[in-house]
Structure 1
């Protein structure tokens, strides 16, 4: 099979999976897009460090349209908390830009290990906590949301993910926000955090030699087109599934997902 056709097929499958995951879990899907793109790019002979940065930037760029589709679905079901979202948006945009700027200069292996440890700890915390009921009081103080908004955005930009893989556990276990509303708000927040991260990856990669063809900064436009075309339609299906699945089952699946990805990032030799 031709290498370009094979790469397109792998990206279509990846995009379909992350589209569903975005709607169902409120995550961007970078945890899957990044290793797949990294593998494809390095197999084409592109420098491993450069491949990782392109994978980060392209992942964030693909998250944006998928998150927009998922956000609308969650908003129609009244599961996007607008005030917390507004309070977290600006610090999230700043955090996303700063995180992406740091990531474009940090050692790739160190970043992977740190992300893996972060996911593993978040999974343990989420597993041993009790999900708040749907009528739980939502924190109103801006002092609660502003620093968390920066932290979520920073994680998003730093690791090329939407931030939901960390945001949802924090919102449910620390802020005590019901799971479905945490998922909906996380999805909407990804629109803000990924936008600033994308800009940073583009700016920091414009003059870098050795990038793949059809790339704009650290964003591979060809990979982006295939991922988006596959992920956006599946995002709405994921939203429907999230609103028909019991919260405890979603929580368990989320924990398993985080542990698996975390261990892979820690022990992978890539």
Structure 2
């Protein structure tokens, strides 16, 4: 398979649309879906695994930036974004997302895919054991906790090219006592910051590397970005609309199943 084949284009377009719906529905960036798909496709074109996974992570994170803006605007209309907490987590997260992407530039594909899979599965299990609905007055108000939450979300966002929702939502549910719907909306806002910092990191660290796809900004493939981002941006708002008509517990279960599936798939790529 080559990057110019219709099948390559079709797979990325469908992945982008599916990811957009998932982003809107679950408040995640969607990198945990896009990264594995791109990683597989890029290797099918003959790209070496270590380079393929960095391009997959960097490109996914740049797509996540656009998706998260679309989703946040939709959740803001439903008053499901808590901006004070989102800003604290986002600013600290964007800095550490940049450093996470820098670390990823020096790790092997097998190491990154293993970390990716383990983080997904642990996050899924902890989320499953946490109630999806809480009273609003239980939300934690300690700004120090939000700074540390942002650091954790940001670092793993940059390291794994995932925006941070699959890390942020479990943290918000378990430690910060958000209900599921506000965790989704606030997570989408945080992801704007973390995906921006991480994307810049992948561009800078990949600049001038040999073997990159045509029309790349460092580890970000602009061709793949367009194929993923255009349908994803349109589908993300639809996913956000659907989310407000779906039971919170059902949203949580869908989120958990997706995380476990992707985690197992990435561990299995070693």
TM-score range, shorter chain: over 0.9
CA deviation profile, 1:139-194 (whole Å, cap 9, x unmatched): 11111100110110101000011110121111112211010000001011111001
State yes or no: 1:164 paired with 2:176: no
How far did residue 210 of structure 1 move?
0.9
Q: Is the 8 A contact 2:133 2:248 kept in 1?
A: no
Paired position in structure 1 for 2:219: 218
Q: Which moves more between the two structures, 122-131 or 237-246?
A: 122-131
Q: Is the 8 A contact 2:36 2:266 kept in 1?
A: no
Matches within 5 A, 1:36-55: 36-55=37-56
Question: Number of paired residues?
Answer: 269
How far did residue 134 of structure 1 move?
4.5
Whole-Å separation in 1 of the counterparts to 2:91 and 2:39: 30
Paired position in structure 1 for 2:63: 62
Tell me which stretches of 4 or more aligned residues in structure 1 moved more than 6 Å. none
CA deviation profile, 1:104-133 (whole Å, cap 9, x unmatched): 111111111112112211211121222232
* 3-state secondary structure, aligned to 1:182: helix
TM-score (norm 1): 0.96
* 3-state secondary structure, aligned to 1:129: coil
How far did residue 89 of structure 1 move?
1.8
Paired position in structure 2 for 1:6: 7
Whole-Å separation in 1 of the counterparts to 2:124 and 2:40: 26
Paired position in structure 2 for 1:73: 74
Whole-Å separation in 1 of the counterparts to 2:131 and 2:116: 24
How far did residue 9 of structure 1 move?
0.6
How far did residue 4 of structure 1 move?
2.1
How far did residue 268 of structure 1 move?
2.2
Whole-Å separation in 1 of the counterparts to 2:126 and 2:224: 35
* 3-state secondary structure, aligned to 1:115: helix
Paired position in structure 1 for 2:150: 149
Whole-Å separation in 2 of the counterparts to 1:120 and 1:226: 28
How far did residue 136 of structure 1 move?
4.0
Paired position in structure 2 for 1:114: 115
Paired position in structure 2 for 1:228: 229
Whole-Å separation in 1 of the counterparts to 2:56 and 2:242: 28
Paired position in structure 2 for 1:97: 98
State yes or no: 1:244 paired with 2:253: no
Whole-Å separation in 2 of the counterparts to 1:189 and 1:4: 36
Q: Is the 8 A contact 1:46 1:212 kept in 2?
A: no
CA deviation profile, 1:13-46 (whole Å, cap 9, x unmatched): 0000000010001111111211211222112212
Paired position in structure 2 for 1:189: 190
* 3-state secondary structure, aligned to 2:29: coil
CA deviation profile, 1:195-237 (whole Å, cap 9, x unmatched): 0111111111112111111111111000101111110110011
How far did residue 138 of structure 1 move?
1.8
TM-score (norm 2): 0.96
